[in-house]
Amino acid sequence: MIEIQNLVFTYTGQTAPLFDHFTWRVERGEFWSVIGPSGCGKSTLLHLMVGVRAPQAGRVSVNGENVPRKKNRGKTGLVLQDYGLLPWATVRDNVQLGLRIRGFYGQDVKTRRVSAKHPRSDAEWGENPSGLTVGVDFWLDRFGLTPHRDKYPTQLSGGQRQRAAIARTLVLDPDVLLMDEPFSALDAPTREDLEQLTLDLQAETKTTTVFVTHNIEEAVFLGRKILVLGNPPHRSPVRCVENPGAGRAGYRDEPAFLETAHRLREMLKER
């Protein structure tokens, strides 16, 4: 669960706030899309939730924990548009990177999430050289990356690089997943394939997910609830669209999909 209460945030050097007593709540296990025009603060909202930016006032909490100011919360996963893969590391080493960092700082790296669709026993989990139990190989297989595990990012397609970036996040077993326009640079077939994979994974793991996009059709296909941001400052009450058909097979071809997309377009015109 994500709770944002009376959030106030203003960029340094600016007088007008981006968020002004902004309140929003995401229930545990929900999948939200966040849509709005470029520069309206969508990415900043994620950065505030993950803790890499600090509000001037208000409270941000995730699953009952106050998000520490200017400090990343360890159980919140963030997937970015630019992949963030190390060019000198193999796919497997990139996916394992977060676990190695946790191990370096003496943090618990055991990841035990088991989905109903893909149950795993302890014997199916490999060990890294430090003896720490990890699920790297499971996620490589789940994302179809096992044949590419020893390749470098420059040897991969854009879709494969994004799969590796998502796998690197999921191997840390986050309880909240934040995704910042992760598919915007991909071609349409690859983007739709990864959108469906994202929905499948969320259905399996029940991870609370917030997906930022500027693409109306993507927002409607993914989010069962859609937060609509216009021009700042953003204040309460928030504009939210209920979208119960999201994730349903064939939803893109249904009248409800087109109606919801039209509604979003009209709301964005009102900004």
**C-alpha to C-alpha distance for 211 and 219, rounded to whole angstroms:** 8
Structure tokens that stand for 33 in this block: 């899309």
Architecture of the CATH domain 83-173 = 3-Layer(aba) Sandwich (3.40)
**C-alpha to C-alpha distance for 67 and 74, rounded to whole angstroms:** 10
Do the Cβ atoms of 211 and 179 come closer than 8 Å? yes
**C-alpha to C-alpha distance for 78 and 84, rounded to whole angstroms:** 11
Is 50 exceeded by the pLDDT of residue 128?
no
Instruction: Look up the pTM and report it.
Output: 0.86
- Across the chain, mean pLDDT equals 85
Is 50 exceeded by the pLDDT of residue 220?
yes
Highest mean pLDDT (candidates 97-101, 183-187, 257-261):
257-261
Is 50 exceeded by the pLDDT of residue 118?
no
Do the Cβ atoms of 227 and 24 come closer than 8 Å? yes
Strands 208-213 and 31-35: parallel
CATH superfamily, domain 1-75+176-271, is P-loop containing nucleotide triphosphate hydrolases (3.40.50.300)
For the chain, how many residues are written?
A: 271
Mean pLDDT of 149-174: 92
Q: Is 114 exposed, middle or buried (0-12, 13-18, 19+ CB in 10 A)?
A: middle
Strands 31-35 and 76-79: unpaired
User: Which has more pLDDT, 167 or 71?
Assistant: 167
Predicted local distance difference test score (pLDDT) of residue 7: 95
Same fold yes or no, 1-75+176-271 and 83-173: yes
Instruction: Render the burial of 5-20: b for 16+ CB within 10 Å, e for the rest.
Output: eebebbeeeeeebbbb
Q: Left if phi > 0, otherwise alpha if psi is -120 to 50, otherwise beta: which for 116?
A: alpha
User: Which has more pLDDT, 118 or 262?
Assistant: 262
Predicted local distance difference test score (pLDDT) of residue 73: 58
**C-alpha to C-alpha distance for 92 and 155, rounded to whole angstroms:** 13
Which band of pLDDT confidence, cut at 50, 70 and 90, is reported for residue 58?
Answer: very high
Helices (H) and strands (E) in the chain, counts: 7, 10
Question: Domain boundaries in the chain?
Answer: 1-75+176-271, 83-173
| Alpha-carbon dihedral sign for residues 9, 12, 17, 18 | negative
